[in-house]
């Protein structure tokens, strides 16, 4: 989610926010890793006569990898909304007592990682806004690229913007449409059409839940059903019952929900007591985020019908075919590099071994404030096993390289532990361009592959060899139709036009890397 540098604007607002009265808990959060960071996880459950707040808590717990800076839940009980959100991990924000004090028939939840700027309690979601029909609570994964024009339009109508998040803009645009006389469904479509960029949304209203994806479907969203037997027909797709929407299928699994399908690009689901109504609010132009398949989503999730663990193993096998090496052991950067490393081992016939032990109590967001401190902090995350590595020629597999600082330190750690050779293999093409659609990939001048050739990166890392998976290899191993993916981070081809003011904030280089064939 984008953030603004301006301070909050005060004044009378036609779409007022009750967030000032919502419970917001502050917990210290530490920074960012040398990996692209996912922006958010979203979750919603419609299950009358069930503990929807606790179900949402578990759903967010499974989606914790998608955002660790803040978390929030809003439950709806007979038109009243109960909201609790705060800074920190899901387990830090909520207690059993909190959840038991959040009754309701349905609920929405959110885990957040801010894609630009610092993290603030005011930006924790769901964003709650009052309307003539009652309060709405909006959870958003993605980035709106026309934030400046949308913000200006809302300010012209004297709306009070109390956060620096683009998610609030979507919520207020929806509230404005409702206050102008539209229904929830009509208002949602009106708001979506004002937004340019990536968004997967779960919105709680006094009538139920609205779930939607942008026309390109850049960020994921899935639908599930809790029950021993899934009805054949529910409403226009699935009928009354315990229905769940989540960023990933792992969010369904944890609450015992069966994965039904992905929400389609440009589709809106209206979930209420009568079931699910599907509305194609915009023509689909599918451009799914390929990094969801490579890294962001959990390997136990299913992405548009495809097992991500199986896909990551296959690209590891493809990597072994494209870039073989004469080594003694294959190992992974845990945890995200493990499936590809196993695949590389299977295809090459070279044994796989655990050469790095990960400290499970230091999460993805362990960040140090300076580069030198960040590099020192890597040893708190990963520790090499000397008895495995000593005297061995090692090939280590990782899913991506962004800045290169972690990879350089890892190579040195492996040599220090006794490895005689260290070869690196990356199960994706080089990341050469920043993402504007909900992923934190830094400014372009901080992306190592944007300024250096593979050979130069190899020398900077101190590795004996370095190779990336080819663009063709990445796409040909997936069961999702080729042509369905956003390739912007690899090619610079952005499916949604980026306004110049937004583009200049990240595209710092005049040099444009060669496009991937």
The confidence score (pLDDT) of residue 5 equals 28
Evaluate whether 444 touches 508 at the Cβ level (below 8 Å): yes
Only one residue has tokens 């690196």, namely 424
pLDDT under 50: residue ranges of the chain = 1-13, 20-21, 26-32, 116-118, 235-237, 364-369, 508-517
| CA gap 34, 368 in Å, rounded | 10
Task: Return the biggest CA–CA distance within the chain.
Answer: 73
| CA gap 503, 436 in Å, rounded | 8
User: How many residues are there in the chain?
Assistant: 517
Q: What is the CATH number of domain 310-504?
A: 3.40.50.2020
Nearest to 438 by CA among 198, 189, 224: 198
What residue spans of 157-193 are helical by DSSP H?
166-179, 184-193
Evaluate whether 106 touches 79 at the Cβ level (below 8 Å): no
Q: What is 36-286's CATH superfamily? A: Aminohydrolase, N-terminal nucleophile (Ntn) domain (3.60.20.10)
The confidence score (pLDDT) of residue 439 equals 82
The confidence score (pLDDT) of residue 139 equals 98
Cα torsion for 288, 290, 295, 300, to the nearest 10°?
60
- Burial classification of residue 499, based on how many CB atoms lie within 10 Å of its CB (0-12 exposed, 13-18 middle, 19 or more buried): middle
Locate 358 and state its tokens: 């990960």
Q: pLDDT of 186-235, one tens digit each?
A: 999 999 999 999 999 999 999 999 999 999 999 999 999 998 766 665 54
Nearest to 368 by CA among 336, 406, 337, 416: 406
Element (H, E) at 416: helix 405-416
Domain ranges of the chain: 36-286, 310-504
DSSP letter assigned to residue 389: H
Residues 6+ positions from 483 with CB-CB distance below 8 Å: none
The confidence score (pLDDT) of residue 53 equals 98
The confidence score (pLDDT) of residue 360 equals 77
| CA gap 408, 87 in Å, rounded | 32
| CA gap 458, 22 in Å, rounded | 51
SS (H, E, C) 375-437: HHHHHHHEEECHHHHCCCEEEEEECCCCCCHHHHHHHHHHHHCCCCEEEEEECCCCCCCCCCC
289 given a catalytic annotation? no
Q: How many CB atoms lie within 10 A of CB 510?
A: 5
Locate 490 and state its tokens: 């690899």
Cα torsion for 387, 388, 390, 391, to the nearest 10°?
130
Beta bridge partners of 213: 200
Task: Annotate 354-388 with b (16+ C-beta within 10 A) or e (fewer).
Answer: ebbeeeeeeebbbebeeeeebbebbeebbebeeeb
End-to-end CA distance of the chain: 31
The confidence score (pLDDT) of residue 438 equals 86
Does the pTM exceed 0.75? Answer: yes
Sign of CA dihedral 38, 110, 188, 288: positive
CA 141 remoteness from chain centre = 7
């Amino acid at each position: 989610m984008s953030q603004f540098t301006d301070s909050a604007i005060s004044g009378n607002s036609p779409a007022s926010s009750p967030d000032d009265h919502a419970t917001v808990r502050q917990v210290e959060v530490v920074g960012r890793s040398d990996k692209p960071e996912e922006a958010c996880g979203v979750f919603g459950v419609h299950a009358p006569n069930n503990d929807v707040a606790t179900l949402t808590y578990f759903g967010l717990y499974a989606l914790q990898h998608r955002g660790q800076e803040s978390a929030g839940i809003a439950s709806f009980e007979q038109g009243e909304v109960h909201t609790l959100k705060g800074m920190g991990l899901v387990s830090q924000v909520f207690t059993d007592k909190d959840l038991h004090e959040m009754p309701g028939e349905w609920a929405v939840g959110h885990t957040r990682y801010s894609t630009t700027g610092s993290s603030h309690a005011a930006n924790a979601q769901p964003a709650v806004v009052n309307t003539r029909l009652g309060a709405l609570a909006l959870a958003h994964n993605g980035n709106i690229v026309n934030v400046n024009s949308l913000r200006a339009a809302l300010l012209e109508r004297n709306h009070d913007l109390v956060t620096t998040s683009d998610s609030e803009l979507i919520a207020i645009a929806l509230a404005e449409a409702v206050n102008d006389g539209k229904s929830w469904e009509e208002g949602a479509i009106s708001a979506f059409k004002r937004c340019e960029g990536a968004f997967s949304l779960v919105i709680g209203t006094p009538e139920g839940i609205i779930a939607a994806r942008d026309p390109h479907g850049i960020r994921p969203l899935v639908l599930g059903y809790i029950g021993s037997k899934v009805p054949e027909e529910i409403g226009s797709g699935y009928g009354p019952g315990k229905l769940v929407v989540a960023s990933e299928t792992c969010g369904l699994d944890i609450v015992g929900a069966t994965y039904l399908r992905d929400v389609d690009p440009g589709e809106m689901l209206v979930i209420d007591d009568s079931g699910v109504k599907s509305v194609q609010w915009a023509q689909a132009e599918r451009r799914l985020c390929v990094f969801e398949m490579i890294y962001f989503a959990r390997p136990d999730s299913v992405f548009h019908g495809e097992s991500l663990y199986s896909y990551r193993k296959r690209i590891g096998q493809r990597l072994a075919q494209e870039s073989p090496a004469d080594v003694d052991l294959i190992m992974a950067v845990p945890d995200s590099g493990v499936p590809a490393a196993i695949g590389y081992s299977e295809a090459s016939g070279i044994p796989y071994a655990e050469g790095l032990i990960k400290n499970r109590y230091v999460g993805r967001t362990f960040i140090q404030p300076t580069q030198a401190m960040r590099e020192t902090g890597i040893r708190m995350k990963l520790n090499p096993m000397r008895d495995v590595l000593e005297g061995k020629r090692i090939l280590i597999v990782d899913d991506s390289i962004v800045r290169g600082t972690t990879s350089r330190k890892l190579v040195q750690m492996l040599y220090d532990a006794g490895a005689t050779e260290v070869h690196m293999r990356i199960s994706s093409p080089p990341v050469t361009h920043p993402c504007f659609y909900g992923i934190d990939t830094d400014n372009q001048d901080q992306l190592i592959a944007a300024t250096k050739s593979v050979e130069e990166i190899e020398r900077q890392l101190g590795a004996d060899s370095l190779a990336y998976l080819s663009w063709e290899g990445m796409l040909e191993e997936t069961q999702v139709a080729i042509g369905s993916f956003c390739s912007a981070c690899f090619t610079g081809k952005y499916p949604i036009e980026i306004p110049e003011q937004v583009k200049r904030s990240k595209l710092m280089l005049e040099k444009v890397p060669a496009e991937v064939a």
